Amino acid sequence: MKLRREIRLYIEAELRDYYQTKADLLEAQNDIMLEGHINDGSGIRGTSIYRPTEAKTMRLFTNKRIRRMQQVIEAIERVINMLPEEKHRLVELRYWQKSRKLTDEGIALELNCDRRTVYRWAEGILLAIAIELGVM
């Protein structure tokens, strides 16, 4: 099975943004937990009993942005946690370095393998994440 170019680019972007997505998720969850009274939209005051904990919990579970970030993080973590050490190192070198210092050739030298092996491993990792996310 081969990844279409746009899916590969999307998954690579999600991998590169993994740590930022985790930070954004935490911030979004904190924003909901710290906000005040949530208006039910009826315009009528005092018509129902307000349960702030339940309201905030429901917002956490129903917020589409939060749910999508959780899905992406969980899919990446499921795949990454199953990888052998050398493939995990490939992800770190290729996607998670602050400023990518190594080319694919340099990554291959670092991992003691051929450049084509680096491409093949990366393609397999991206395909596994795509399957986990349900985009394949």
The whole-number average pLDDT for the span 81-106 is 91
Domain of residue 117 covers 5-36+50-133
Q: How confident is the model at residue 33 (pLDDT cuts 50, 70, 90)?
A: confident
**Domain assignment of residue 65, yes or no:** yes
**Domain assignment of residue 44, yes or no:** no
pLDDT score of 47: 52
39-73 residue pLDDT tens: 555 555 555 555 666 666 666 566 788 889 999 99
Residue 90 CA to residue 80 CA, distance in Å, equals: 11
Domain count, the chain: 1
**Domain assignment of residue 42, yes or no:** no
Tell me the pLDDT of the chain averaged across its residues: 85
**Domain assignment of residue 115, yes or no:** yes
Residue 129 CA to residue 8 CA, distance in Å, equals: 10
Q: How confident is the model at residue 117 (pLDDT cuts 50, 70, 90)?
A: very high
